[in-house]
Structure 1
Amino acid sequence: MIKKSEKAFQEAVNYIPGGVNSPVRAFKSVGGTPRFIKRAKGAYLTDEDNTKYIDLIGSWGPMILGHAFEPVENAVRKAIKSSFSFGAPTVKEVEMAKLICDLVPSVEMVRMVNSGTEATMSAIRLARAYTGKNKIIKFEGCYHGHGDAFLISAGSGALSLGVPDSPGITPSTLGDTLTAPYNDLDAVKRLLETHKGEVAALIIEPVVGNMGCVLPKEGYLQGLRDLCTKEGVVFIFDEVMTGFRLALGGAQERFGITPDLTTMGKIIGGGMPVGAYGGKKEIMQMVAPSGPMYQAGTLSGNPIAMSAGMAMLKHLKKHPEIYAQLDETGAFIAEGLRKSVKELGLNYTVNQIGSMYSLFFTSEHVVDFKTAKTADIPAFSKYFHQMLNRGVYLAPSQFESLFLSTKIDKRIANKILRASHYSLTSLVEE
């Protein structure tokens, strides 16, 4: 009998490109039919065929407190009673802005937008307006949304599909976008020397989540901060994934680095579509209507999204012990995976920080785009389906970080580790 997810996908491909509204969801890099999800609660997803899965995606990061977290649900229900959108200012936007400025070390002013992509695109335009320069530096394998400049040497879905560069990008965009290997400070120095006085901004995921979870080397982020200060380059942290996840103040709090601008998304909407960019007041005052750099959005600061996000962030602020719990769970799973692959003689690599982690199907120490691409994709694909069959929903790509929530306790973590050990064992036995 055909499953409901299969039937839904067969219909979807007739009306939606590839049958999905975001490419990785199509399962192209792992094969098979995507599961269509109808509900989620806590640590679990339930698909259209009523199959339950432990969720290790968490809507790609924002569900740090698990799905359908009651305070967020209640905030949304209350807000809806006053209508869905006004297209006019609300007190909630001010409250959210104050909360973000209070929590994120580098942010003195903030502008709400509707997605992480919108935030990064706006931050780059703002950096160009502020500096009067045109070029930007990004890093191979880092993904900052689908803006033209960000799809050059991109990670995430572009890498999963085997097309790291997208058609439709103009030669001028290519010329203004400089790329460097992640974790290679000397490469950035060379770019800044070659293009002296031409670089407006450097944008980076402080911990990469879009070629799998990849951590910065000791001193690397501070080295970038120092170079940007010296050369008058706007230093941008893309904290769409790491913001409020690695610490209450994001990766910049965890590593003690202060960027000039920060982009945020996902978690600040409690799962609702939302994003933001913020930073130094002198830079942010360039944004219209305070300054000449134009950026607008009809649904920016949407009252439903603001209500959900404030409920999420206020809970995290009230319960800072959450981060110790997430760190402990992440370390427990990472250590369990390392023990498992060692017992099976597989020599795979596990990267983990806090509630983000990846099991890379390679013996290489994964520190950048080049080493990430050494992963055995067919082996990962088999592992993915073995895990799915055992009730664990992984990101359908080797090149995506996994995310833990507070609802994944030791009991569920042990379920994940048992499923992983059996799945890896089945690969060895093939």
Structure 2
Amino acid sequence: MPDNKTEHERPTRRDYLIYGGGVVSSTLLAGCTSDSDSSTGTSDGTDSTPTDTPTATPTATPAGTEETETKTATPEDKGYSATISPVGTVDFESVPESVFTVFSQYTDMAVALGHGDAVNAMYVPKMAGTTMNHYYHHLTGVDFEWEGLYDPLNAGIPKEKLYSLDSDIHLVDPAWVSTQNNWSEDDAAEIAEQVAPWFGNFYSGTHDSPPEGYDDYEFYNLWELFDRVSQVFDKRDRYNALAQVHTDLVETIQNDLPPVEDRPTAVRVSIAADGESFYTYHLNKPGYWLADTRPLGAVDAFEAQNWDGLWGEVDFELMAETDPDVILHLWGITPARSMDEMRSTLQDHPVGRTLSAVKNDRVYAQGMRYQGPIMNLFQMEMTAKQLYPDRFGEWPMYSDGERYPDIPADEQLFNRQRVADIINGEN
């Protein structure tokens, strides 16, 4: 895209958002653009809650309160800041009221921090928004209005649209943006200067290499990334409270896992449109796209497969040769994929019907890889029940169009009301 600054010249927003770091420079349901993600896991590969040592210290909202007014900077109130790689530090004089997102993990973070109504864009709003509300249905007072949002997947990310939306913050990685069609580092820098800062980290998703010029790029796990986004909204109290729920959930699961030799083999797949092959994903590699499977320690039936990124494509013959105990159908709980059709395809296929997971009725609906903190809690619970029903309770059979199932209170792995209270500012 040509650099056309003169066409868009206007006062910058440095009275409102002060950009401190500087920009240093549809395969959605298969891999969703370039598969890059990162999570700094623990030594055993789990995606644990990080030690709370942020590089920027914003002013937090007191616990149990809700911000209802835009803060105005005064000599006594110098605002706050947030820091993320590769952007650097961004200084804020007030909380963003209009937020541009692409991947739904950032949208879910905004909802978790009480600012879902500020979001003006998200990839595939109907699919992602409906799926998010499948989970939010179980959280009193939490929902997400996705209708009417701009869709950067179908409509693209033209620079002119970002001027038109006039967002207060772009929760997007400028390194990733610079690799998109008709974008360059100069274009990303222009938007940061003339519209609003970028604030995102894409290549932590799968630990792929960022573009040239980003030698100091840092990788974060999902909850470290959420910590940094919470600084943007000056809501680190909510991050801390939700991070504790996550820590407790991981401990609940990992303290009751069977020995490795007794764990099932599993694959995470989505079936190709022709019904003759599968897009397949690793379970335990680094990256926040795997924040809901890695902590569960199942045996990855395709661990020996080396793909360019976290996903590849296999046919029925290789699936039969591997013959996993459990098939996790990614996107199965979303409107974009049909579990009924998936099961019919497997049952009707001469090789598919011989798979152990099919014969034993262990083909399960999964959620989305682009998960934020709320989604992560539900998807981790979901997967724990699908992999280890003897330990964590049976996963209810899921049919197309249903919400996340009702789980009996004594079989829930985290407290829904506690999560809702945190999101609603009642923690």
TM-score interval, smaller chain: 0.3 to 0.5
Q: When the two structures are superposed, what TM-score results if normalisation uses the length of structure 1?
A: 0.33
User: Which one has the bigger helix percentage?
Assistant: 1
